[in-house]
Structure 1
Amino acid sequence: MSLERSIPPVLRPLVRAYVLGYASSTIPRLLSLLLTHLIRKRKNNDKKKPNSLLSSAGSILLKGLDPQRFPTFCAALIGGSTLIEARDNSFPETSRIPRLARLLSSFIAAWFSLELLQSKKSDVFLGTIPYDTPNGVKHKATRYAGRTIDLTLFAVTRAVDVVVGELWSRHRIRRTVAGKWSKFEQAISSLADTAIFASSSALIMWAFIYVPERLPQSYNKWITQAAQVDQRLLVALRHLKAGTIQYGTDCYDEAAFLRNMCKDYGWPLHYADPIKSVPFPCEMVHMGRGGQSCELHALIRFVQTSILCLSTYVPLNIALVIRNPTRQSLIYAMKSSARSSAFIGAFTALYYYGVCLGRTRLGPRILGTSHPARQTLDSGICIGTGCAICGWTILLEHEGRRKDIGLWVAPRALATILPRRYALEEQWKETLAFAISTAVVFMCVGEQPKRVRGVFGKLLNQVLYQ
């Protein structure tokens, strides 16, 4: 705190933003590096030189100082919006001029700070396009946009939440004053965050199965680890949807990877034969857990995933209260860990059980058991069933966390229906969307800070005004 007092008040938001951005971009990578190092060391498989850990850590710390990375973006966004905001005490607080100045300064800062991030070139967004010449078709290098799409969708989601929340609040006040506020409207208010998470989860899990390239690589990897799924099962589902594997048809070559899966798990080889096995047994979906029982498999998934999550949540929640530990805070930390672990465990279990419901339990009772019906069930309906029901397990979480989790996954869900790479000349549209959304959010933080919900709203208020 003494160090912060030595900084001029006008520069404090900028410094806070830079420090927060630097910490958020380096600490997770350092922890991941340390965890990987410990795992390798435990397995006696660490062939790196003794100083490799320090070298890698130093590289992470230095990359965070790159002026085209996230910390500088945070400083430019927060600092710019406060430094160039016109402040004139001659205007009364009710005047629109300070409000417009705040809105304009936030818009300008958001526009140029995002352009700062977009200016950094990445090989992922480089490609070639064909063009005709007198000597035939040739290719030239081109750069695509989309590097900041996740950040933009986060801002857009938050701005929409602010606007819709304000409109709904005014609607509620009018209806309550008139004595017409109904139970249906109350239910909408109570379930809004749950519905946001459930629908977002459905889009994300559908993309994870069929179009994983639409998800960020790190997010895709995290889901794979949490789901503990054999990649060959995902390939089989994609083949069934594409029609390259069809029930009742000889697909010997296409099903070769399924025969290898049968060998690895000790199943009969006819499990992988789309002529003899219509449909493929649910035991293949279970991947060695619970045998042929879909219910036992779901229970095992719940227990295993919950225990796995506990090993992450317990140390994290205890670390948050370790500076001032009390019996009550420790009990709360354990309860919070158990609740969050149960939520993730139930999410995983219900997703898998939903797949089984769609393909063998409930689906055949509706569509029948013919080969075309089985093909239809396994080419999308079974996955859709799992996607539709798994997200409602968010009801196990504390009500206060539902809004944070819902607003965290919503931008990722939107990203699955938008291209992750697009023409560079269209980038101004993304920049405009980000600038408008950021201006709306910052404006709301300045005038109605409670309207920007969750941890993000509190954090933004602290960075900007405290």
Structure 2
Amino acid sequence: MKWKNLMDRVPGLPGDPSHIAHVALRTYSLALSLSLGPSLLPFVLSRVAPRSTGSTKYNGRALLKVLRRELGHDGFAFAMTLAIAGGEALNRYFSAEASGEVPAEGSPTAEPRRTLRSLLARLSAAQRTFVANFVSSAISILLIQAGRDRSLRLRNNPPSMDAIPLTVSIPHSLRSGVAVPSPTLDLTLLLLVRAVDSLCQSFVFTRCNNAPEKSTLPTKIPDEMDDVHEEEKQFRRRRLGLTTRIDALVFWACGARIMWCFFYRPARLPRAYVKWIGSLAAVDPRLPEALRAIRTGRWSYIHGSPKESHLLTSLSQDLGYPPAWGDPSALPAFGGRAANVTWTKLGVHNRSGVGGIPCELVHGGITSRFGLDGSCTANAVVRGAYAFAEAMAIYLPVHLLPVLLGRPSSLLQPHKAISVLLGAARSATFLSTFVSSYYFTVCVTRTLAFARLFPSVSHDFWDGPYGCIMAACLTCGSSIWIENGRRRGEMALYVLPRAIRTLLPNSWLRGNRPLARGLERLVFVLSFATLITGAMHKPHSLRGLSKWTAAFILKGPRAGFRKTGDQISN
């Protein structure tokens, strides 16, 4: 009885889902799941497969450090909660001061408060929201970086290095020195891209919005209302058409840059991203090493490569071919009749008129089970099929999860289930076409067409950074037109931060300089404040994950989960 009376005195959460307490709880839960979940995964795997994960590194002491890091006041979850919920609280205080709801008389601080009230009254509601979130996010980024710096100092435990989602991983060789990349760089770039997209969407909405205001609709007669609805539909089509074209262009450019860096400058990309691309492309690591050696002149068909020739000779042996097929000194540098003589000696029967390494080495034995190692078309088709199967495992949950969270009963309807399945298949087709078109363009450039048309051009060029690789990089991104128009934007926003990262100066990626850190903090704060301001005052400027996350945090689960499938990606 006493326990029941005690519980009755405990205040409950307010019923309003937009209350600050609810906002803080949802923010903390979501941020903690993003940071603590990946950090705990190695501990779980070490119990399931201890030999493959190195279970000695993931002991109880390491677990306590991870929990201390993530649950502490300088952890990612608390810092993000302070940024969002603190900004909301400060914004409400600013609004109350500007409207005069908070009395400013009869206290020592009356004069400063009257000055503050005067300043706030001159600002619009959106401007007050921006200032409030600017202040809260500035404190947030300082907390996040302070916590990350503390984790770096405790470098006896490797798991403590993975503290923040979407951050740069730190090589062990750099942990003990001062020249370490910013731990929040990837997170800052993500916010920057989303904020710029919000501004662009607002601009496109303003330029395309020629439809009448909705408030005028009740005053129209029925025929005029039909005209208004038609104008609204035209406006939506214009906005979607312009946005999807911009998204496709952005994805194409970013995809080309990322793939070029994957082969020639992988250090400019996150290591996990490089590993994922390599797995999806099923490329032997010795082949990119040889391409990088060609770019620097250490591997040449004309001058030979005494120090780097082992790269492809070992690959050739592993694929079951003579080592000479991968030796640049034994391969023809140019096409024509002289190349045919060399191919006859080496036993290569499908490279008449062209030089360079045989395509069998480029294909990597992916079609060996079908006996089609020398077929460029078969290589592209089989790789596309493998990529499709792997992409379906990625995209099916992506298309299915919003429906399960929003309206799971709709999956009982056959047409809805088929729609989700077709949507996932379309996305998987886009990714598989990306992979297959890359490989086929490489073969078209160096074997099937261009190298055959210009046999006097050395394969140091055709196999170099501005030959087949450049052509493939410029081609594969065109597969984005296969994807649903509404989802092109999310794909563009996914690759854009990584592409921007490859363009940053090496000093920013290799050294944590005060100027770079200060500029990053400023970008983080401005981007964060812009996103929250847009979510509160211009929700039409957000789309995709930004729109869903903002609606979920600020308005509640129903606002975040009520949209399904394509609607969430809008």
The TM-score bracket by the shorter chain reads 0.7 to 0.9
One-letter amino acid of the structure 1 residue matched with residue 23 of structure 2? P
1:245-287 Cα shifts (integer Å, max 9, x gaps): 1112232331112111111110122211213323111221110
Distance 2:12 2:357 in 1: 65
1:373 aligns with 2:458: yes
2:476 to 375, 390, 396: 390
1:442 aligns with 2:532: yes
Contact 2:302 2:460 in 1 (8 A): no
Distance 1:47 1:32 in 2: 7
1:285-318 Cα shifts (integer Å, max 9, x gaps): 1100241211110000011111122234445655
Contact 1:126 1:142 in 2 (8 A): no
1:410 to 496, 517, 531: 496
One-letter amino acid of the structure 2 residue matched with residue 341 of structure 1? A
Distance 2:251 2:71 in 1: 35
Aligned to 1:425: 514
Summarize the Cα distance change of 1:454–1:286 in structure 2 as closer, same or farther, 3 Å threshold. same
If the length of structure 2 is used for normalisation, what is the TM-score?
0.69
Contact 1:351 1:386 in 2 (8 A): yes
Distance 1:337 1:306 in 2: 10
1:245 aligns with 2:322: no
Contact 1:127 1:142 in 2 (8 A): no
1:211-256 Cα shifts (integer Å, max 9, x gaps): 1111112212211221111100110110111110111223233111
Contact 1:404 1:454 in 2 (8 A): yes
1:324-366 Cα shifts (integer Å, max 9, x gaps): 3413343233223222222221111112222222322343256
Contact 1:358 1:385 in 2 (8 A): yes
1:156 to 178, 187, 192: 192
Contact 1:196 1:410 in 2 (8 A): yes
One-letter amino acid of the structure 2 residue matched with residue 75 of structure 1? T
Distance 2:397 2:172 in 1: 41
Aligned to 1:90: 99
1:397-443 Cα shifts (integer Å, max 9, x gaps): 22221111111111111001114234421111111112112222221
Structure 2 gap segments, 5+ residues each: 1-10, 102-119, 156-169, 213-230, 332-354, 368-372, 557-570
Aligned to 2:222: none
Contact 1:350 1:389 in 2 (8 A): yes
Which structure shows the higher strand fraction?
Answer: 1
Shift of 1:80: 2.1
Q: Please, which moves more after superposition, 396-405 or 29-38?
A: 29-38
1:18 to 28, 38, 41: 28
2:428 to 334, 341, 353: 341
Q: Please, which moves more after superposition, 160-169 or 277-286?
A: 160-169
Contact 1:17 1:78 in 2 (8 A): yes
If the length of structure 1 is used for normalisation, what is the TM-score?
0.84
Aligned to 2:567: none
2:178 partner SS: strand
1:171-201 Cα shifts (integer Å, max 9, x gaps): 3347999xxx9x9998644411111111111
Distance 1:145 1:4 in 2: 41
Q: How many aligned positions are there?
A: 444
- Give aligned-pair identity as a percent: 26
Aligned to 1:461: 551
Summarize the Cα distance change of 1:171–1:320 in structure 2 as closer, same or farther, 3 Å threshold. closer
Aligned to 1:27: 37
Shift of 1:383: 1.2
Distance 1:91 1:358 in 2: 71
1:279 aligns with 2:343: no
- CA-based RMSD of the aligned residues comes to 3.6
Aligned to 1:116: 143
Summarize the Cα distance change of 1:49–1:82 in structure 2 as closer, same or farther, 3 Å threshold. closer
Summarize the Cα distance change of 1:31–1:449 in structure 2 as closer, same or farther, 3 Å threshold. same
1:8-45 Cα shifts (integer Å, max 9, x gaps): 9222222211110111223355567667876x59xxx6
Aligned to 2:287: 233
One-letter amino acid of the structure 2 residue matched with residue 77 of structure 1? A
1:69 to 66, 70, 75: 75
1:255 to 300, 306, 309: 309
Shift of 1:82: 0.8
Query: Superposed, which structure 2 residues align to 1:189-204 within 5 Å?
Result: 189-204=243-258
Distance 2:543 2:211 in 1: 23
Contact 2:27 2:553 in 1 (8 A): yes
Aligned to 2:347: none
1:300 to 382, 386, 392: 382
2:274 partner SS: helix
Structure 1 gap segments, 5+ residues each: 129-139
Distance 1:91 1:356 in 2: 72
Contact 2:263 2:292 in 1 (8 A): yes
Distance 1:336 1:315 in 2: 11
